[in-house]
Amino acid sequence: MTERPDLFELTTLAQRRDRAVRSGFADFLCREVAGLVAERLAEVKREFNRVLLVGTGAGAMSEALPPGAAVTAFEPSPAMAEAEGAGVMESETLPLSEGANDLAISVLLLHHLNDPVGHLIQLRRALRPDGLMLAALFGGRTLHELRASLAEAEAEIEGGLSPRVAPMGEIRDLGALLQRAGFAMPVADAERLEVTYADPLALMRDLRAMGETNILAARRRVPMRRATLSRACEIYADHFSAPDGRIRATFEIVFLTGWSPGPDQPQPLRPGSATRRLADALGAREISAGEKAGKRR
């Protein structure tokens, strides 16, 4: 049985984030996500004393965490890890202690991983029974304007397409990952953020400053042709401009929430264990199998 090739390069992600930190990391998106995480945690009436944090922007995320909690953090970028007092995530397998945390948060990382289910399983195992996991990642509508513009320009100028923007999952598919990873009471929801830029090149510079550039293993290793880039900017401006002449960029943030299984959680009833008939609850006459229903009056 042949081994499946990796879709992403984690070492390249670390290098891109290192470069972003050295040149001035653009953390506005991390702060937006931190605020949304804080809103969700505020709805949970529970104390979290030990927190596991994996992914980018630990500094920004600290504002969303419960005060006084002991935090263990991991980040792929050595430069960012050093700046934020986190451990370096050298591979997708993390050195986690089983059952050691009340809360696990994965921030803007899951969409970069070759084994997202494996990542979620690691987070679940790192939680005590009935611990909470919250993951924030980019969803399928993220940068759809840029993807469409690059694809059209490359097909027109170069006669074909190359992988320039990573594929991103739809919310229904992403929510299914929680069940595959063994979480109880799984919930998936999304927030869309629309940001405007002076032009597409300003957006691309911001993506570079966020460390969110292409890490696909199958990416082309040569710079984009100037004619292709110029045409992509024209297409972007023609189709995705705001009323003030700036261009729009969409970031869809999907939040995955689940609980590690625990003995005190609500459990679904076994099939056939109901004590009341549905017909009684609805005030209707029950029709047995094979009996024809009369006309509705």
pLDDT at residue 263, rounded to an integer: 82
- pLDDT, residue 279, reads 59
pLDDT of residue 18: 94
Using the predicted structure, report yes or no on whether residue 98 has a pLDDT greater than 80.
Answer: yes
If we measure between CA atoms, which residue out of 94, 85, 80, 45 comes closest to residue 66?
45
Q: Which domain holds residue 255?
A: 10-261
Q: What is the pLDDT of residues 24-66, one digit of tens each?
A: 989 899 999 999 999 999 999 899 999 999 997 666 787 788 8
Query: Does residue 277 form part of some domain?
Result: no
> Poorest-confidence range of 139-143, 164-168, 267-271?
267-271
Q: Is 42 exposed, middle or buried (0-12, 13-18, 19+ CB in 10 A)?
A: exposed
Instruction: Kindly write down the DSSP assignment for every residue of 106-118, as one continuous string.
Output: EES-GGG-S-HHH
- Over residues 4-11, mean pLDDT: 85
% helix / strand / coil in the chain, to the nearest 5? Answer: 35, 20, 40
Length in residues, the chain: 297
- Provide mean pLDDT across the span 104-113: 94
Residue 296: predicted pLDDT? 45
Cα dihedral 79, 82, 86, 89 sign = positive
Q: Where are the beta strands (DSSP E) in 98-176?
A: 101-107, 127-138
Whole-number pLDDT of residue 137:
94
Q: Cβ distance 73 to 84 under 8 Å?
A: yes
Instruction: Report the number of distinct structural domains present in the chain.
Output: 1
Q: What is the pLDDT of residue 286?
A: 56
Q: Compare 212 and 57 and report the one with higher pLDDT.
A: 212
Residue 164 resides in a domain: yes
pLDDT of 67 over the 90 cut = no
Within a domain: residue 162? yes
Question: pLDDT band at 293, cuts 50/70/90?
Answer: very low
Q: Express as a percent the part of the chain with pLDDT over 70.
A: 86
**What pLDDT, on a 0 to 100 scale, did the predictor assign at position 221?**
78
- Residue 273: per-residue pLDDT: 55
Q: 236: how many CB neighbours lie within 10 A of its CB? A: 25
State the CATH number of the domain containing residue 164.
Answer: 3.40.50.150
- Nearest partner of 105 among 63, 168, 68, 166, judged by Cα: 63
pLDDT at 175 over 80: yes
More confident residue, 93 or 267: 93
pLDDT digits (tens, 9 = 90+) for 80-96: 999 888 999 999 999 99
Greater pLDDT, 64 or 157: 157
Q: Is residue 230 part of a domain?
A: yes
**Arithmetic mean of pLDDT over the chain:** 87
* Residue 15: inside a domain: yes
Q: Region 242-251: what's the mean pLDDT?
A: 96
Give domain status of residue 293, yes or no.
no
- DSSP 8-state assignment for residue 127: E
* The pLDDT of residue 220: 79
Q: 17-28: b or e for each residue (b if 16 or more CB lie within 10 Å)?
A: bbbbbeeebbbe
Does a structural domain hold residue 275? no
Instruction: Tell whether 40 is covered by a domain.
Output: yes
pLDDT of 276 above 70? no
Q: How far apart are CA 79 and CA 6, in angstroms?
A: 24
